[in-house]
A and B are shown apart, each in its own frame.
Chain A
């Protein structure tokens, strides 16, 4: 059974850092693109970042470029999102998601971890 379990969310002050992790199991992690997608409270979905199977190619939404870094460890079946210089508008539930059957789709999602940026 495919499982994605996020961790690392919490309350952080504006300008502070936070690192999210996603533990993957039930599939060959190294064979899939992985992504982070977020959802602000009561709002819609926003794609944040994606990383290729081997970790060499990474893509980000403009609003997080230079502040967030997506990475993966295929030996540990783990996906991470290092978030620096956090802003109030980064407050959201962050989902880890696995690539689906077509380019850019995601067929398995974690339950999400809440990040709250507030003083």
Chain B
């Protein structure tokens, strides 16, 4: 099983600033996605293939990385961006998620 490890667990950032979230895979993956989950809502696909934005996702969201190290960057944070973010690998069964990073208002 591929273990996905996210850091930090909680990130405090002020609105308008940039947030950088990290995800590490226990072995190399290519199918890496990022999801956003707001309270009481289902997850929302943000990024797939490590760096491709899903339909309708604002350009302030960007993904980068390869192999085992990945990053989600959110520039100029808006109020609606404060949520929990999960990375996810779908290279190998069982598919696995990271434990999540909670992005909170500083």
Known: A101-B54, A103-B90. A46 touches B42 (CB 8 A): no
Contact A47 B48 (CB under 8 A): no
Which residues in B have their C-beta under 8 angstroms from that of A61?
94
- State which of B33, B37, B52, B99 has its C-beta within 8 Å of the C-beta of A104: B33
CA distance A107 to B47 in the complex (A): 10
A62 at the interface (CB under 8 A from B): yes
A102→B33 contact, CB < 8 A: yes
Known contacts A44-B99, A46-B97, A47-B97; A104 and B90 CB within 8 A of each other: yes
With CB as the reference atom, state the residue of chain A lying closest to B37.
Answer: A45
The interface residues of chain B lying within 8 Å CB-to-CB of A60 are: 94
Number of interface residues of A (CB under 8 A): 24
* Contact between chains at A102 and B93 (CB < 8 Å): no
- Most B C-beta atoms less than 10 A away, residue of A62, A105, A112: A105
Write the nearest CB–CB distance from A22 to chain B, whole angstroms.
Answer: 12
Interface: A14 (CB within 8 A): no
- A102 with B94: CB separation less than 8 A: no
CB neighbors of A among B29-80 (8 A): 31, 33, 35, 37, 42-45, 48-49, 52, 54-55
Instruction: Point out residues on B near A: beta carbons under 8 Å.
Output: 1, 31, 33, 35, 37, 42-45, 48-49, 52, 54-55, 86, 88-91, 93-100
With A59-B93, A100-B33, A107-B55 given, name 19 new contacts (CB 8 A). A44-B97, A45-B35, A45-B86, A45-B88, A47-B88, A47-B97, A50-B95, A60-B94, A61-B94, A102-B49, A102-B52, A103-B31, A104-B31, A104-B88, A104-B90, A105-B31, A107-B45, A110-B42, A111-B42
Could you show 17 A-B contacts with beta carbons less than 8 Å apart? A44-B86, A45-B37, A45-B88, A45-B97, A45-B100, A47-B88, A47-B97, A59-B94, A97-B42, A100-B45, A100-B48, A102-B31, A102-B48, A104-B89, A104-B95, A105-B48, A105-B90
